[in-house]
Amino acid sequence: MKRSSTPAAGTPKILLLTYISPLQRWGSAKRSRFLVDALKMHGAVDVLVFSFVNDAAADPPLTVTDFGGVRVMDLQLVQHGLLSRPRFDVTSSDVSSQVAQHVDLASYDLLVSRYVRPAMKLELPRGVPLIVDFDDAVYDPPWYALRTVKSWVGVLLRLFNDRVIVRTRLKGAAWREAYYFFCRDAEREVFGWLPGAVLPNLPPAADRDGTPDFSTPEQPALMFVGLLDYMPNHDAVDWFLDAVWPIVLREVPQALFLIVGSGAEDRLERWRQHPSVETLGFVDSLADAYARATACVVPMRSGAGTNIKALEPYLYGRMVIATPLVVEGHHPLFRPGDDVLTADDPAGLARHCVAMLRAPQRASEIARCGYQRITTTLTEERFRHAVDLAVREVLRPRETDPVRD
């Protein structure tokens, strides 16, 4: 199914390449939606979602969904060999050929890659500008969670891909011509030779109207929210339950620990064996879940870049207790002691948790400060402005020279 719709004359045609559909409900998909909305200000936007399969399972392999005037094209790519698999960011002529059967990349005026991976997999057309939303560009492995040979192999392969293959390729002249978005200053500095800017991660809008409810729950409770099959997340929960939660319970025996998010049932069952722990799974109403919490904990020891899970609670009137790794990912947004409480050891985290559970009004005060700071700093206007500057920058040569190479 070749691209057939024709935008108005003079309207740039933009294609967003991604492994993560904006139709999904994951946190990373929400950034994709923000990006789509910002790109729509500059032209007609299509989204091409790559799904990698072992065998041709769909007929046709391309399905198209309308998403507010944007065509979301989900393309199933059959993996025929090592290079056609998504694990390594190397150009695959096989993947490129399968894409070319359905979508003509050269027919677009601008290509945008959500993460660097989709663009690196393809033989990109010459003369078409490229913007890469690198997002979380530096991954800190969850060493503490690696308990099997398979997990060690997976992490080492990812490090080889990220720190050898990707960084070597980005030294090439062609890749230095693209424009890059990074989600934080620290990652922008790691890739200082690449042109680009910081495009901040925004927390998703709350699923309720008006300002947050800062009132405190009747029963003291802490909460963790996240995708629980993601290794850094379940490592954080394991560590909190083993090292921090027993200390908290000794001081506040009536407290609850609520775990929200989808994950393997055996893992959830194991966590439920700890005293005063509830696993809520995927919830239909985040507002209702947050209403049960006095504060949220984000005890990350590994991961990549910014943690949206450290921003979202404030939009629901809840403050965050976190490890320094999380706050560094948002520097200089958070002010420890004013907007967030941090500690890098179990005793320190437990001390903050106990203090907030015993003084829920103080937790609400910190939540109010954080809410004010986040909602006045991380705005959709700021996000759109960064995208606007980038698009104008990369399309400027085409505005002066309309002839396509």
pLDDT in tens, 281-336: 889 899 999 999 999 999 998 876 667 888 999 999 999 999 988 887 777 788 88
**258 has which bridge partners?**
223, 278
pLDDT, residue 11, reads: 85
Tell me what percent of the residues of the chain surpass a pLDDT of 70. Answer: 93
d(CA 63, CA 73): 6
CB atoms closer than 10 angstroms to residue 104: 13
Residue boundaries of the structural domains of the chain? 13-202+380-400, 221-377
Tell me what the mean pLDDT of segment 156-167 comes to: 89
Amino acid at 244: V
pLDDT in tens, 10-58: 689 999 999 989 888 766 788 899 999 999 999 999 999 999 988 766 5
Q: What is the pLDDT of residue 58?
A: 57
User: pLDDT tens digits, residue range 169-180?
Assistant: 999 998 999 999
Confidence of residue 405 (pLDDT cuts 50, 70, 90): very low
CATH number of this structure's domain 221-377, picked from the four choices 3.30.420.80, 3.40.50.970, 3.40.50.2000, 2.40.37.10: 3.40.50.2000
pLDDT digits (tens, 9 = 90+) for 120-159: 999 999 999 999 998 777 777 777 777 789 888 888 988 8
Task: Please report the pLDDT score of residue 295 as a whole number.
Answer: 97
Structure tokens at 180: 């890059």
When mean pLDDT is compared across 74-88, 159-173, 388-402, the lowest value belongs to 388-402
300 φ/ψ angles, rounded to the nearest 5 degrees: -70, 140
> Is the pLDDT assigned to residue 357 strictly greater than 50?
yes
Mean pLDDT, residues 378-403 taken together: 80
Q: What is the mean pLDDT of the chain?
A: 88
Q: How far apart are CA 146 and CA 141, in angstroms?
A: 9
pLDDT tens for 180-237 read 999 888 788 889 899 999 898 888 888 777 889 999 999 999 999 988 888 889 999 9
Instruction: Copy the structure tokens of residue 195.
Output: 């042109």
Least Cα distance to 30 among 183, 181, 262, 204 occurs for 204
**3-state SS record for 175-187:** HHCCEEEECCHHH
Give whole-number Cα distances, 373 to 20, 335, 365, in Å.
29, 10, 13
pLDDT at 254: 97
Tokens of 240: 């909190």
Q: Are domains 13-202+380-400 and 221-377 of this chain identical in fold? A: yes
Give the count of alpha carbons within 13 A of 12, CB side only: 23
pTM value is 0.82
Q: Are 244 and 350 in contact (CB under 8 A)?
A: yes
CATH of the domain spanning 13-202+380-400, picked from 3.40.50.300, 3.40.50.2000, 3.20.20.80, 3.40.50.2300: 3.40.50.2000
Greater confidence, 100 or 26?
100
Residue located via tokens 């729509």:
40
- Least Cα distance to 204 among 382, 27, 24 occurs for 27
pLDDT reported for residue 70: 94
Q: Order of strands, edge to edge, in the sheet holding 256-260?
A: 277-281, 256-260, 221-225, 295-298, 320-322, 340-342
